[in-house]
Amino acid sequence: AGGAAMADGEGLVSVDYEVSGKVQGVFFRKYTQGEAKRLGLVGWVQNTSHGTVQGQIQGPTARVRELQEWLRKIGSPQSRISRAEFSNEKKITALEHKDFQILK
C-alpha cells in the first residue's frame, strides 16, 4: 500500500561511511569510485585530514550493502583496511547525487 517505488522491497538508502587504515595514497578513492559505478551507486568519496577516507553512498539497498562489504573487506589492492564505520543510514525517495564523485 506504499508508493509504487517501494513495492518491490528495493527501496533506496543513503549511508555515510568512514574507512580507517592504510587507505590514502593507495588509489582507494579511484577504486571506490569504480566499484560504486559498477554497482550503479551514486555518492562521493574523499580523503580526510586525519588519514581516513570518507563519503556517502546512495542507491538500492542490496547494492549499497555490497559496497559496504567491499569497503569493509576489500578496498584497493594496496590498501589495508582496519575499520569501516557506517552512520546516518536512512531511506530516501530519490537519489541526491548524479553520479559517484571523488572530492578533493
What does the domain layout of the chain look like in residue ranges?
Answer: 12-102
CA dihedral 16, 21, 25, 26 (to 10 degrees): -90
In three-state form (DSSP H/G/I as H, E/B as E, the rest C), the secondary structure along 41-104 is: CEEEEEECCCCCEEEEEEEEHHHHHHHHHHHHHCCCCCCEEEEEEEEEEEEECCCCCCCEEECC
Check 47, 65, 72, 88 and give the catalytic one: 47
Predicted structure pTM score = 0.89
Give residue for cell 546512495: 58
We find that the CATH architecture of domain 12-102 is: 2-Layer Sandwich (3.30)
Can 88 be counted among the known catalytic residues?
no
What tens digit of pLDDT does each residue of 33-43 get?
999 999 999 99
What tens digit of pLDDT does each residue of 82-103 get?
999 999 999 999 999 999 999 9
pLDDT band at 9 (very low <50, low <70, confident <90, very high): low
Check 29, 63, 72, 80 and give the catalytic one: 29
pLDDT at 104: 86
Can 47 be counted among the known catalytic residues?
yes
